[in-house]
Chain A
Amino acid sequence: MSQTPLLSLRNLRTMFTGENGEVVAVDNVSFDVNAGEIVGVVGESGSGKSVTALSIMGLLPKTGARISGGEILFRGRDLLKLSSREMRGLRGREIGMIFQEPMSSLNPVFPIGDQIVETIIAHERIGHRAASARAADLLNRVGISSPARRMLDYPHQLSGGMRQRVMIAIALACSPKLLLADEPTTALDVTIQAQLLDLLRDIQDETGMAIVLITHNMGVIAECADRVVVMYAGRVAEEAPVDRIFDAPNHPYTVGLLGSTPDITRDERRLWTIPGSLPRIEAPPSGCRFAPRCQLAIADCERGQPQAVQIGAAHWAACLRTQDASSLGRKT
């Protein structure tokens, strides 16, 4: 694919100022999202997935967080250089976002219809009537029946799945080119998860919108994503097309992540776990951040951050021992 990507992160670095000085939450993260593609970003809690999304949106907390380096190119423009006014015009209109908690992402004191209408009116010169009609269409499209009546409901009258559908409708209100979905299904039960993922896929098929799907759930990735970015402790560990991630992972962390996902085709009593936990962000290991937990770590791993190695078409892994990692994958 030689087209210019819709979104392109280049060495993004986001820092937080804590009590003990600055910590790097997202370190040197680069990846592309092409138009019409679903990119899964996967990693443990605290791996920097959500901070990456908020960096793209320019919604990092005003105090204590800053982007200290890199570029976020969206359709060729560096979002980090836009004024806050320009960013505001972009949010919702060109880049939509849905959040993890459908319970709290809707304003409790307004009927949901008003909330969709407001978003449309904020971005487009359109009358209230036309906006209402479009809001009803949107609700219909995200699978809410009798939308005209539902528009009068307050968020607390809807179930979690319905609320997330409403959030999707709001995110879609101005047909954005890119949708950032930050753990959109984590708070929902499994059947609703599946419905919503189907919905996202359908909408993506219809509109050709690109989706960045942030999750810690490998099943969600397998279901939806075209390409996968695996993050660990603020860095990209591995990036590959979805089938390569599942069939031939080349980073020991990806292998561990896959091994710790239950799989009914495998015949084993206990799930594999990765020993240890995420390194403390205030004091990251000097070399590869995964080294302290890695079965394959060698002395070199602690010497410097491993560079991303190209393994195949659109497949990179930031590991010195990619070859051994792939064989490790076959064993577990």
Chain B
Amino acid sequence: MSSRTVSETPAGVVARKYFWRGRIARRLMKHRSFVIGAVLCTLVLLVAIFAPLIAPTDPNRMAIRFRFQPPSWDFPLGTDNLGRNLVSRVAYGARLSLMIGLGVVLLNAAFGVLLGALAGYFERLDGFLMRLSDALMAFPSILLAIGIAAALGASATTAVIALAVVYIPRTARILRASVLVVKEQEFVQASQAAGASHGRILFRRILPNCMAPLIVQLSFVFAYAVLSEAVLSFLGLGAPPTTPSWGILISEGRSYIREAPWLTIVPGGAIAVTVLGLNLLGDGLRDVLDPRVKMDGA
């Protein structure tokens, strides 16, 4: 590295370039489970994006003549009881599953992080917020999601809200625990001594130190959301039956599980692959993004 002077390159800018182009990317590429997870997730993502190109027919187009076709050259994943092509249905289902998962993760990140951070940092809020989350966590998660979804009426949006509510207390808990640990570290006092405000300390100094568990948690939340959405759809509380969500596919295939097992195995496999990919991705990110876990083997 050449000896740059500060006037040429503001250090912050250099730092950011260095961070993104150099070490982090290189180390992620070396991390086996991250790479596998990234490949699986990318695959699912591509299927979701290019669903109209992948699907040979409209996912709801029926062809009674070809009902219960096992996987074959013409129907790579088979057809269902109404002769609908499973390739189309699984591809479009990926869209719905990923969108719901993403929605849940975003809501979860926003509220879980905010509530957890506030509870961990301000002792006065802690009791109230945590009792609130205890109350939510006292319900079995699926039961709570079913309750909320039932109360709000079945739709994809409801499923997102219901699942977010269910998982927010868990994320908040995890973040609170990390904030409690980090806020006792000396550099927090050092920032106070340097005159930083509460907001700055909490969001700029403490939170970045809590990213590793948060990223892992969010990857799990994504995975759980995909899974739970399938459960909600299976129970008829998620997306309407006309949309080919993976949960609905399983639900419909369930009745024919002996005669046509591919109707459950294929969407089930899609869910499994997505969840596995997300978990591997989260683990890899955790290992690499946390600078404390040894940066460059030195």
A residues with CB within 8 A of B: 57, 59, 62-63, 88-93, 96-97, 99, 101, 104-111, 113-114, 117-119, 122-123, 128-129, 132-133, 135-136, 146-149, 151-152, 154, 156-157, 167, 170-171, 173
Interface residues in B1-26 by Cβ distance below 8 A to A read: 1, 3-7, 9-12, 14-15, 18-19
Q: Which residues of A contact B12 (CB under 8 A)?
A: 113-114, 117, 128, 132
Flag whether B185 is at the interface (Cβ < 8 A). yes
The distance in angstroms between the C-alpha atoms of A108 and B11, with both chains bound, is 18
- Stretch of B190-198, B215-223, B251-259 with 4 or more beta carbons under 8 angstroms from chain A: B190-198
B 254-298 binary contact with A (CB < 8 Å = 1; else 0): 000000000000000000000000000000000000011001001
Which of A62, A90, A93, A132 has the most C-beta atoms of chain B within 10 angstroms of its own C-beta? Answer: A132
A91 touching B187, Cβ below 8 Å: no
Flag whether B67 is at the interface (Cβ < 8 A). no
Q: Which residues of A contact B197 (CB under 8 A)?
A: 88, 122
Partner of A154, one of B5, B7, B191, B291: B291
A57 touching B10, Cβ below 8 Å: no
- Stretch of B45-53, B83-91, B93-101, B204-212 with 4 or more beta carbons under 8 angstroms from chain A: B204-212
Which of A107, A118, A173 has the most C-beta atoms of chain B within 10 angstroms of its own C-beta? Answer: A107
A91 touching B292, Cβ below 8 Å: no
Once A109-B291, A118-B204 are accepted as A-B contacts, the answer to whether A148 and B11 lie under 8 Å apart by CB is yes
A96 touching B194, Cβ below 8 Å: yes
The distance in angstroms between the C-alpha atoms of A146 and B209, with both chains bound, is 27
Flag whether B74 is at the interface (Cβ < 8 A). no
Q: What are some 15 contacts across the A-B interface (CB < 8 A)?
A: A96-B193, A109-B208, A109-B292, A113-B15, A132-B12, A133-B6, A136-B6, A136-B11, A151-B11, A152-B18, A154-B291, A156-B292, A157-B298, A170-B190, A171-B193
B209 touching A59, Cβ below 8 Å: no
B208 touching A148, Cβ below 8 Å: no
Beyond A92-B195, A99-B190, 18 additional pairs, beta carbon < 8 A: A62-B123, A91-B192, A97-B190, A99-B186, A107-B208, A108-B291, A109-B292, A110-B208, A113-B15, A117-B11, A122-B196, A133-B6, A135-B11, A146-B3, A148-B5, A148-B6, A148-B14, A154-B291
Q: Which residues of A contact B189 (CB under 8 A)?
A: 59, 99, 105
Total A-B pairs, Cβ < 8 A: 124
Q: Which residues of A contact B196 (CB under 8 A)?
A: 88, 92, 118-119, 122
Q: Which residues of A contact B204 (CB under 8 A)?
A: 118
The distance in angstroms between the C-alpha atoms of A62 and B184, with both chains bound, is 12
Secondary structure class of chain B's binding surface, majority of residues: helix
Flag whether B200 is at the interface (Cβ < 8 A). yes
The distance in angstroms between the C-alpha atoms of A23 and B218, with both chains bound, is 45
The distance in angstroms between the C-alpha atoms of A22 and B6, with both chains bound, is 53
A167 touching B9, Cβ below 8 Å: no
The distance in angstroms between the C-alpha atoms of A141 and B244, with both chains bound, is 66
Q: Could you tell me the distance in whole angstroms from the C-beta of B213 to the nearest C-beta in chain A?
A: 13
What class of interface size applies to chain B in its complex with A? 35 or more
Q: Which residues of A contact B192 (CB under 8 A)?
A: 57, 59, 91
The distance in angstroms between the C-alpha atoms of A247 and B116, with both chains bound, is 57
Once A109-B209, A149-B1, A156-B291 are accepted as A-B contacts, the answer to whether A92 and B11 lie under 8 Å apart by CB is no
The distance in angstroms between the C-alpha atoms of A114 and B209, with both chains bound, is 15
Partner of B187, one of A57, A93, A105, A147: A105
Q: Could you tell me the distance in whole angstroms from the C-beta of B5 to the nearest C-beta in chain A?
A: 6
Once A63-B123, A109-B291 are accepted as A-B contacts, the answer to whether A104 and B185 lie under 8 Å apart by CB is yes
Q: Could you tell me the distance in whole angstroms from the C-beta of B204 to the nearest C-beta in chain A?
A: 7
Partner of A122, one of B1, B11, B15, B200: B200
Q: Which residue of B lies closest to A109 (CB)?
A: B208
Q: Which residues of B contact A146 (CB under 8 A)?
A: 3
The distance in angstroms between the C-alpha atoms of A183 and B205, with both chains bound, is 24
Q: Which residues of B contact A105 (CB under 8 A)?
A: 186-187, 189-190
The distance in angstroms between the C-alpha atoms of A96 and B193, with both chains bound, is 7
Partner of A133, one of B7, B211, B295: B7
The distance in angstroms between the C-alpha atoms of A86 and B234, with both chains bound, is 59
B291 touching A119, Cβ below 8 Å: no
B193 touching A108, Cβ below 8 Å: no
Q: Which residue of A lies closest to B190 (CB)?
A: A105
Q: Which residues of A contact B190 (CB under 8 A)?
A: 97, 99, 105-106, 167, 170
The distance in angstroms between the C-alpha atoms of A173 and B194, with both chains bound, is 9
The 8 closest A-B pairs by CB, nearest first: A92-B195, A92-B194, A97-B193, A91-B195, A151-B11, A136-B6, A104-B186, A113-B11
B193 touching A89, Cβ below 8 Å: no
Once A59-B189, A104-B185, A111-B15 are accepted as A-B contacts, the answer to whether A148 and B9 lie under 8 Å apart by CB is yes
